[in-house]
Amino acid sequence: MKSTYAGIANQHVFVTGGATGIGRSMVEAFANQGAAVSFIDILVQEGETLVQELKNQDCKVCFLETDVRDHDALIASIQTAARDFGPITTLVNNVANDQRHAVMETTQAWWAQCMDINLNASFWAAQSVYPMMKKQAGGSIINVSSINALWGPDNMPGYVTAKAGLLGMTKALAREFGKDRVRVNTISPGWVVTERQKKLWLTPEAEKEWKKLLCLPDMIEPEEVASLALFLASDDSQKITSQNFIIDCGRI
Ligand SMILES: NC(=O)c1ccc[n+]([C@@H]2O[C@H](COP(=O)([O-])OP(=O)(O)OC[C@H]3O[C@@H](n4cnc5c(N)ncnc54)[C@H](O)[C@@H]3O)[C@@H](O)[C@H]2O)c1
């Protein structure tokens, strides 16, 4: 049975990369708890379909097409969401791109883009929501990193570097924002079963090999990551900041 957090119904939650995968589950989880939820993504059809589905369930939800590589567009969407649904109380920095690439094939342009999506967007979004959270004397910022930052798998140096950067960013922002009771934490998932992972990498053989490395012989579902985000957005975690929460069935 899922936990219900009474306070979340009064919140405005902003999720980056919310149209598919784990982000989609975050949007659904917060909306089902009664929160107003705004989310951004580049996938317009997926975003609009999700909005329709949730509106049919009487949820308060809004999708804004936004490419987080465009700093001004990202900030404009945050401001639009705050104007329409009120000040943002929880920010989930979920957006990512885990495209594989070898070190020696990496160009400057590719590296810059990788950092823009996987690291920089989270910083600019946090900077943008902080004044509104400060004004309300509190808020929660949740950065979604990855256990990949802790063990460094092959063929994704940009992603691993950016995800490690999020761990440091969490510490830095938690220190600076804490005096205003704005909390900043990281969630680091292990391998999560999303449609994209199934399509690209999560074969039955890969799953079998992966499970040999785990304490709990299970795969993680997107909803289970969303449950952790609910906790970190709720009053039940009001004394928790500057931490990294690993959800990986004991891989690390
Ligand atoms: N799936 C996993 O196994 C796994 C494991 C560890 C960590 N994570 C992390 O969890 C988070 C969500 O993972 P996921 O697997 O659902 O990710 P994903 O790559 O499937 O989806 C992320 C979302 O971001 C959107 N997006 C990508 N580029 C964008 C851009 N430039 N502007 C706006 N939106 C953009 C995508 O369209 C997608 O909806 C990510 O931060 C990821 O790094 C995932």
**Domain spans in the chain, listed from the N-terminal domain onward:** 8-194+221-246
Residue 154: both structure tokens together: 């092959």
Q: Which residues, other chains included, contact 149 with Cβ-Cβ below 8 Å and sequence gap of 6+? A: 160, 163, 164, 166, 167, 188
Confidence of residue 211 (pLDDT cuts 50, 70, 90): very high
**Ligand 1 atom closest to the CA of 46, numbered from 1:** 39
Crossing angle between the packed helical segments 71-85 and 121-135, to the nearest 10 degrees: 30
Cβ < 6 Å from ligand 1: which residues? 17, 19-23, 40-43, 66-69, 94-98, 117, 144, 146, 189, 191-192, 194, 196-197
- Ligand 1 centroid, distance to 19 Cα (angstroms): 9
**Ligand 1 atom closest to the CA of 43, numbered from 1:** 37
- Test site for ligand 1: of 51, 65, 98, most ligand atoms within 8 A of the Cβ: 98
Residue whose CA is closest, atom 8 of ligand 1? 146
Q: How far is CA 30 from CA 63, 170, 248, 250, in A?
A: 14, 22, 22, 26
Has residue 252 got a pLDDT over 90?
Answer: yes
Question: CA 203, 94, 220: angle at the middle one, nearest 5?
Answer: 35
pLDDT at position 121: 99
Residue whose CA is closest, atom 34 of ligand 1? 41
Whether the CA torsion 146, 151, 154, 157 is positive or negative: it is positive
Span 95-125, pLDDT tens digits: 999 999 999 999 999 999 999 999 999 999 9
- Test site for ligand 1: of 25, 49, 70, 95, most ligand atoms within 8 A of the Cβ: 95
Percentage of residues of the chain with pLDDT beyond 70:
100
Span 179-193, pLDDT tens digits: 999 999 999 999 999
Task: Average the pLDDT over 12-36 and give the result.
Answer: 98
Active site residue 159: yes
pLDDT at position 117: 98
- For residue 52, give the 3-state DSSP assignment: helix
Task: Average the pLDDT over 135-151 and give the result.
Answer: 97
Span 219-244, pLDDT tens digits: 999 999 999 999 999 999 999 999 99
What pTM, to 2 d.p., does this model score?
0.98
Q: Looking at the chain, how many residues does it have?
A: 252
Q: Which residues, other chains included, contact 214 with Cβ-Cβ below 8 Å and sequence gap of 6+? A: 190, 248, 249, 250, 251
Residue 174: both structure tokens together: 């938690």
pLDDT at position 98: 96
Catalytic residue, chosen from 5, 159, 177, 191, is 159
- Test site for ligand 1: of 24, 27, 41, most ligand atoms within 8 A of the Cβ: 41
**Ligand 1 atom closest to the CA of 68, numbered from 1:** 32
Has residue 1 got a pLDDT over 80?
Answer: no
pLDDT at position 84: 97
Q: List, in sequence order, every residue forming a beta bridge with 142; answer none if it has no partner.
A: 92, 185
Q: How far is CA 32 from CA 4, 174, 231, in A?
A: 9, 28, 14
Mean pLDDT of the chain: 98
Task: Average the pLDDT over 193-218 and give the result.
Answer: 97
Confidence of residue 2 (pLDDT cuts 50, 70, 90): confident
CATH class of residue range 8-194+221-246? alpha beta
